[in-house]
Every structure is written in C-alpha cells, then in structure tokens.
C-alpha cells in the first residue's frame, strides 16, 4: 500500500470503498482531473455521500494537514493516500501535483475544514490546473461562512465575504472604514485571541449594527451570540477571548448611518453590475431609505437610464 504522503502512481489493489452505517460501499468511477471536495467544519457527520465517493475513488488527496484529514478518512474507512499541500510547501508541491494530473491521475483537494479555496491556499493549484487544461470538479458541502449566515438571523440577500481582517490595528481600522458603506451583510473570519479588539474596532467604525458571533459551529460547544456590535464588544472585553473557530456576521448599514454621499457611493457601485431598478432596490434594502427616493437618485446618477414601467 502507498504511504500516507506518497505521490507515486496509484495502487490499483487498494480498495476504493468507504464505510457508512457499518457497510462497505464502492466508490463511483470518477472523471480525471482535480476534484475540490468540501469537508465538515466540525461534525464529521456532515460529510456528503458524493464527497466520500470522491475521496475513496481518488488516486491521491492533497490536504493542508494530513493528521486532520486522516481522522476523517479513518471515520469512513477510506484508504486513499494523502499528501500535504499548504502555504509553506505549495511552491514545491504544486509542480508535483500538476505532474500527477498530467499523467491522468484523479486528484482530490481538501482543506482542514469546510470548502477549499475559502481562506486557504488551494486557489493557485486550481488556477494552474485550469491553465493546463485539466478539469476542475467542485464537490460542494459544508461551509463555515454559509452556516453562520443562516444562523445569524441577519439579511442574506446580499453578503460580502471579507475573510480575515488585517491583524495590525491601523490596517484593520482602515479596512473597516472601507467596508462601512458596502450595502451588504459582512462575513468576517476571526481568531479567538483577536476577537475582542476586532469587535471594539468594528463597533467604533460601523456603529451599533446588529451582528452575531458564531463560534464552534456544528461542534459540541456551538454558540451563536446575537447583539449590536457595541454590546458584543463590551461582552468580550469583559469575558475575554473565546475559544474555537469564529465567524462574525454583521448586518448592512443602518438607515441613520448612510448620508447622501454614502448613498451615492453605494449606488455607483451597484450600477456597475445591476440595472437602475435592481441597484435602487438593493441600496434601499441595505440602508433602510425609501425605495422611491433611492430610485430617483439612481436615475440622476445615470441620466441615460429610463424609468421602468414595472416600478411602483
């Protein structure tokens, strides 16, 4: 059997099966190429059947930490070899993985948790695979950002994934000021040790917007704490940094936050990709301003546009 980090040709004798409810099930035949496989963010029961079939049927699994991914494979009786692919070895490993794809191998890419390429190093491998003409096949599943969004109780019609804020105070505050007028719910990843000071900066920069701190989602100590940003900042200043993985969801700008300049900026951004009607609706929803007034302003910013007969 291949070693856990082997990148040699596939072992045809290896069983391409996975175990579910005590039964060994065969993996479906996979297309050649790079399969991007989502894995659980905490609860291992959240692994999809298609994801299990893909991991069992692949020739090799590239993962951030072989110890973490091996626990998942052991849970489901999968014997596919693993190889580490992360920020520190990506430049060295990427050509080797591309070589395997060129040989016709079936390669699976996973992150430590959730959907690959969301705040992890998989993007460059996917980019290289596409440029080389290989198929890239998404195998969707768990995502911490989406799990937090649906649990937060905040608008989900438009959301912006920010990822991690800058760790240094000055850069973080500058970035928060840039996010202030964005007419969308914000999705931010944060570590426990940095959460109190990040919340303090967010409250200072964004005001008392409704927000939710989503911690340890799908795990035993899952917690969703919902409150205005200033109240959350005060809570964690007193309680101290929490443990675990954290997703912070922050509602869009409140009506009283948005002045005329903010409205115009938001409209110009929206008009780059949306019709006048849709841009006005989005900005009205985000700011709480009357739709008719926002629509009139959108027409003024884009004089060539004609009023829609369907608007009310």
- pLDDT digit string, tens, across residues 24-38: 999 989 999 999 999
Burial class (CB in 10 A: 0-12, 13-18, 19+), 210: buried
Phi, psi of 53, rounded to the nearest 5 degrees: -60, -40
Average pLDDT, the chain: 89
pLDDT of residue 188: 98
Report strand pairing: 106-109 vs 33-37: parallel
Span 145-252: which CATH code?
Answer: 3.30.950.10
Give the C-alpha distances (Å, rounded to integers) separating 140 from 48, 66, 116: 8, 21, 9
- pLDDT digit string, tens, across residues 266-284: 788 788 877 888 888 877 7
Whether residue 141 contacts residue 167, with contact meaning beta carbons closer than 8 Å, is answered with no
Please report where in the chains the tokens 């996979």 appear, as a residue.
30
pLDDT of 262 strictly over 90: no
What are the extents of the domains in the chain? 17-142, 145-252, 256-301
pLDDT of 53 strictly over 70: yes
Residue-wise DSSP of 7-68: -SSP-TTS--EEEETTEEEEPPPPPSEEEEE-B-SS-GGG--HHHHHHHHH-SEEEES-HHH
CATH superfamily, domain at 17-142: Tetrapyrrole methylase, N-terminal domain (3.40.1010.10)
- pLDDT digit string, tens, across residues 171-202: 999 999 999 989 899 999 999 999 999 999 99
Q: How far apart are CA 60 and CA 58, in angstroms?
A: 5
pLDDT of 12 strictly over 70: no
pLDDT of 250 strictly over 50: yes
């Amino acid at each position: 059997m291949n070693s856990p980090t082997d990148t040699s040709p596939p072992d045809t004798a290896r069983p391409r099966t996975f175990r579910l409810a005590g039964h060994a099930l065969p993996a479906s035949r996979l297309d050649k190429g790079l399969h991007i496989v989502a894995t659980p963010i905490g609860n291992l029961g959240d692994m999809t059947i298609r994801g299990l079939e893909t991991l069992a049927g692949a020739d090799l699994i590239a993962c951030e930490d072989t110890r973490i991914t091996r626990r998942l494979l052991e849970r489901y009786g999968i014997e596919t070899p693993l190889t580490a692919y992360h920020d520190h070895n990506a430049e060295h490993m990427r050509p080797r993985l591309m070589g395997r794809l060129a040989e016709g191998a079936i390669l699976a890419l996973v992150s430590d948790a959730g959907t690959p390429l969301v705040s992890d190093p998989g993007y460059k491998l996917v980019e290289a695979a596409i440029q080389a003409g290989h198929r890239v096949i998404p195998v969707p599943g768990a995502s911490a950002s989406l799990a937090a969004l649906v649990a937060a109780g905040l608008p989900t019609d438009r959301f912006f994934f920010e990822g991690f804020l800058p760790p240094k105070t000055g850069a973080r505050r500058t970035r928060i000021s840039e996010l202030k007028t964005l007419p969308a719910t914000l999705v931010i990843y944060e570590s426990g040790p940095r959460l109190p000071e990040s919340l303090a900066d967010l409250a200072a920069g964004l005001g008392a917007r409704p927000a939710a701190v989503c911690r340890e989602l799908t795990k035993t100590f899952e917690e969703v704490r919902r409150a205005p940003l200033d109240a959350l900042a005060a809570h964690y200043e007193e309680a101290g940094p929490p443990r675990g993985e954290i997703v912070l969801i922050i509602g869009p700008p409140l009506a009283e936050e948005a002045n005329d300049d903010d409205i115009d900026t938001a409209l110009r951004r929206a008009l780059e990709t949306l019709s006048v009607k849709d841009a006005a609706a989005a900005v009205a929803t985000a700011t709480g301003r009357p739709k008719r007034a926002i629509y009139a302003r959108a027409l003024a910013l884009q004089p060539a546009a004609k009023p829609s007969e369907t608007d009310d």
